Amino acid sequence: MTERKDDRLWGGRFEREPNAQFDAFQRSFAVDRRLLPYEIAVDRAWAKALEPIGIFTAAEVRQTLGALDRILERAKTDAAWFEKTGTGAEDVHHFVEKALVEELGPFGWKLHTGRSRNELVATDFRLLVIDAAAEIQRQLDELLNALLTQAKEHLSVPMAGMTHMQHAQPILLSHFLLAHAEAFTRDIPRLQHAAASADACPMGSGALAGNSFGVDRNAIARELGFSRITANSLDAVGDRDFALDYLFALTGITTHLSRLAEDFIIFASQEFSYVILPDEYSTGSSLMPQKKNPDAWELIRGKSGRISGALLALLTTLKGLPTSYQRDLQEDKEALFAAHDQVADMVAVATGALASTKFNAERLRAAASNPALLATEAADYLVRKGIPFRQAHDIVGKVLRQAEKQGVSLMAWPLDKLKDISPAFEADLVKSLRLDAALSAKKVPGGTAPESVRAAIADLEARLNKKAIKTGAKL
Ligand code: ARG
């Protein structure tokens, strides 16, 4: 049949034209055009698979592959043509079919033999998610390197470690930076898991029931770089768990980014002045000339909400869908594409802002030198003299209460007065009540002692090298 009443993919059984508003409403080309490189790759694999089953001759395969390559090339170089052909297309699959017919005449309609857009879209989307996860993984590697570089450069800078935003115990700035790095290392296996769950090829699943022409599903999967085929055709056309996994991995990253941002926003405030915001990653006020605002971090914190929103949007769309393909599934891509783009920007901006942030070592050291931060050391000192910890805690609490009343520091208390409260206090107390002693006491693995932090840096570098970020094609 070479006569068709229109170029819709499904017009035959319809008497009347679709309502114009509905027609615009159901089209997805504006969003799924991004799948084009994957769609062409899948089309190429399909064309090859049609030869052994006698649908295409070898010459027809060659002819189809040539046309598909020209279509991809033209879409990249001829924006006006891409727009024009796309305007009439329902989605990216329709676009390629229209373009194929433009190239090859009615023969272009033959490629769709035995297959459905339901399996095509699932396959394209899986390929995109695999690449997207690899791209974010590469970016995370750079972010981790920026944190590691800053950690290595600030090994001698102490700071006041906080819990509840209250001064707690002294730590090294490097230890603080490595804490953030550690959180990001947990995002890597999540991205890898998302890529692994996307790594199964649905082609051959048809619209829902499978393929009647006996295509070699494994050959198609291999050709496309998948390591396996999906197990059940009905599940394959309706499964978007890989997209959920990817969005979950992204929310992990943005949750960590948002917490990092929060720390830097606070540290940049005049009250803290721990960090000097880089001009390149800050903006000013249109009214107050003195202002330098931490907008990079604020926007990273602000945008993280969108990513959690995207995960929730897809979860909500999927919940309650009957088995197999439903058109609701078309809504899976827009939020994921946007989330991916946002995260790519967020990680890149965070990496740049981190790398160019200067730390105010004097302020950090001054805060770390608050004697109250050594109260736990004083209690530990008494423990080493044989006093049970709860009692030691109490004794030091008393000293601090009296010192506070008299407006003097714990350090300024003469030994004989301390002895009045507990005879266990001796002259060697001063050795324990020093910032560097407090730091080096924490020499367990994972602690903040300089030697532990140096070991942690080496350990993190070794773990990152082992993970050797897989390079995938760029989106
Ligand atoms: N554009 C659709 C999607 O993104 C694929 C087309 C399937 N359409 C259909 N009527 N079965 O999910």
**Residue 168 in 3-state DSSP?**
strand
Same domain, yes or no: 326 and 392: no
Q: Which of 326, 314, 336 shows the shortest CA–CA distance to 130?
A: 336
91 alpha carbon – ligand 1 mean position (Å): 8
State residue 474's pLDDT score: 37
How many Å lie between the centroid of ligand 1 and the Cα of residue 14?
Answer: 18
Ligand 1: residue whose CA is nearest its atom 3: 330
Domain boundary among 321, 338, 367: 367
Instruction: Indicate which atom in ligand 1 lies nearest the CA of residue 92.
Output: 1
Residue with CA at minimum distance from ligand 1 atom 12: 330
E strand map for 173-241: none
**Integer Cα distance of 334 and 330 in angstroms:** 9
Number of C-beta neighbours around residue 419 at 10 A: 12
Q: How far is the CA of 118 from the centre of ligand 1 (A)?
A: 6
Cα–Cα distance, 379 to 224 (Å, whole number): 64
Q: Is 417 exposed, middle or buried (0-12, 13-18, 19+ CB in 10 A)?
A: middle
Q: Are residues 319 and 397 in the same domain?
A: no
367, 383, 418 — which closes off a domain? 367
* Ligand 1 pocket by Cβ (under 6 Å): 28, 32, 91, 117-118, 121, 325, 327, 329-330
Of 148, 158, 188, which Cα lies nearest the Cα of 355?
A: 148
- Asked if residue 118 lies in contact with residue 179, where contact means CB atoms within 8 angstroms, the answer is no
Residue 164 annotated in active site = yes
CB of 50 closer than 8 Å to CB of 215: yes
- Which residue has the least CA distance to atom 4 on ligand 1? 330
Instruction: Give residues with Cβ within 8 angstroms of 401, minimum separation 6.
Output: none
Compute the distance between CA of residue 408 and CA of residue 464 in angstroms, rounded to an integer.
48
Q: Where are the beta strands (DSSP E) in 300-341?
A: none
Q: Atom of ligand 1 at shortest distance to CA of 118?
A: 7
Range of the domain at 194: 118-213+225-367
In this structure, the answer to whether residues 140 and 247 fall within a common structural domain is yes
Closest alpha carbon to 127 in 249, 214, 34: 34
Q: Does residue 298 share a domain with residue 152?
A: yes
Ligand 1 center from residue 207 Cα (angstroms):
10
- Determine which one of 285, 308, 324, 356 is catalytic: 285
pLDDT of the residue at 411: 76
Pocket probe mutation, ligand 1, options 117, 237, 318, 328, max atoms within 8 Å of Cβ: 117
> From the first residue on, what is the mean pLDDT of each consecutive set of 10 residues in the chain (475 residues)?
63 83 94 98 98 98 98 97 93 97 96 97 98 98 98 98 96 98 98 98 98 98 98 98 98 98 97 94 85 94 98 98 97 98 98 98 96 91 94 93 86 86 92 94 97 98 74 38
Exposure letters 435-450 (e unless 16+ CB within 10 A, then b): beebbeebeeeebbbb
Please give the torsion angle defined by the CA atoms of residues 283, 286, 290 and 295, in that order, rounded to the nearest 10 degrees: -20
Regarding whether 204 and 351 lie in a shared domain, the answer is yes
Residue 1 is assigned to a structural domain of this protein: no
463 in a domain, yes or no? Answer: no
Q: What is the helix (H) or strand (E) element at residue 349, kind and residue range?
A: helix 332-355
CATH number of the domain residue 134 falls in: 1.20.200.10
- Looking at residue 161, the DSSP 8-state letter turns out to be E
Q: Are 245 and 193 in contact (CB under 8 A)?
A: yes
Residue 468 lies in a domain: no
Please tell me whether the overall predicted TM-score, pTM, comes out greater than 0.85 for this model: yes
Q: Which of 29, 90, 118 to mutate to test the pocket of ligand 1 (most atoms within 8 A of CB)?
A: 118
Domain's final residue, options 339, 367, 395: 367
Phi and psi torsions of 4, nearest 5°: -135, 140
Helix axes 36-49, 92-104, angle to 10 degrees: 60
Measured N-to-C along each axis, helices 58-77 and 36-49 cross at an angle, to the nearest 10 degrees, of 170
* Inside any domain, residue 191: yes
In a domain, residue 199? The reply is yes
Please check whether residues 184 and 90 belong to one and the same domain: no
pLDDT value, residue 4: 58
pLDDT at 3: 55
| Candidate of 35, 324, 325 to mutate for ligand 1, largest count of ligand atoms within 8 Å of Cβ | 325
In the prediction, which pLDDT does 290 show?
A: 85
pLDDT of residue 467: 62
277 shares a domain with 347: yes
**425 falls within a domain:** yes
Same domain, 196 and 312: yes
Distance, CA of 235 to chain centre: 27
Task: Give the per-residue pLDDT at 6.
Answer: 62
358 and 303 inside one domain: yes
CB 311, CB 248: distance < 8 Å? yes
- Which is nearest to 40 in space by CA: 161, 150, 113, 128? 128
Q: Residue 54: inside a domain, yes or no?
A: yes
Residue 248 domain flag? yes
Number of domains in the chain: 3
Pairing of strands 158-163, 358-359: unpaired
Do 48 and 89 reside in the same domain of the chain? yes
How many A from CA of 316 to the centre of ligand 1? 19
DSSP for 67-104 reads HHHHHHHHHHH-HHHHHHHHHT-SSHHHHHHHHHHHHH
402 CA → ligand 1 middle, Å: 74
Neighbours of 112 (CB within 10 A): 17
Domain match, 204 and 90 both: no
Enumerate residues 6+ apart whose C-beta is below 8 A from 33: 82, 86, 92, 95
Residue of 164, 256, 393, 432 with catalytic role = 164
- Looking at the fold, whether 93 and 188 belong to one and the same domain comes out as no
CATH number of the domain that 108 lies in?
1.10.275.10
